[in-house]
Amino acid sequence: MDYQKLSKELSYALRHAPHEYELELDEQGWVPIKQLLLSLHEQRKWRAVTEEDLHTMIALSEKKRHEINQGKIRALYGHSVPQKIQKEEKEPPAFLFHGTPQRFLDSILTSGLVPKGRQYVHLSEDVQTAQQVGKRRDDHPVLLRIDARQAWQDGVKFYHGNELVWLADHVKKEYISVY
């Protein structure tokens, strides 16, 4: 079983295209595992996937992208579906980080961080994670530091993605500095 491929397929299904899999996400993005497996089994390459494989996939992944609870599975972040996924509001650490290509810097320092194609802006708990996020699109990404405590005190909402990923609706430029 190629667990990395399975993880990519699930991210696509659970973040972006549940209807292609005849799935409906609930308010927090959960779907019943039984329904997901039925849908995956229609594809030849996934016809033997079991619930245990889903657990193994999560355990082997270098990032915690998916979560299983009480017979359901969901993507923890990254959604682009039209229906807004409700995330748990949480007090952030003092600082959060965001890695981005050099070419986006001017625009970000003008308009702040906006969600673009996803439902939320994605922020990293640590510099190393932000660096990895930025490197997806630029070998020498810019690292931004977000004054999350100040923003939180000013009433900006932050939401929990996983241990390393935080979400926000929009981060204004006054909370952003180049790190």
Instruction: Please give the residue ranges that form the binding site for ligand HQG (CB under 6 A).
Output: 63, 65, 78, 100, 104, 107-108, 111, 113-114, 116-118, 122, 133, 165
Task: Yes or no: say if 18 and 75 are a contact pair by the CB < 8 Å rule.
Answer: no
78 conformational bin, left if phi > 0, alpha if psi -120 to 50, beta if neither: left
Residue among 87 and 122 whose Cβ is closer to ligand HQG: 122
Residue among 108 and 148 whose Cβ is closer to ligand HQG: 108
Residue 63 parent element (H or E): none
Closest approach, Cβ 50 to ligand HQG, in A, equals: 23
Retrieve residue 102's tokens. Answer: 């050099």
d(CA 27, CA 148): 26
Residue among 36 and 171 whose Cβ is closer to ligand HQG: 171
d(CA 13, CA 56): 18
Residue among 34 and 103 whose Cβ is closer to ligand HQG: 103
Q: φ and ψ at 147, to 5 degrees? A: -80, 80
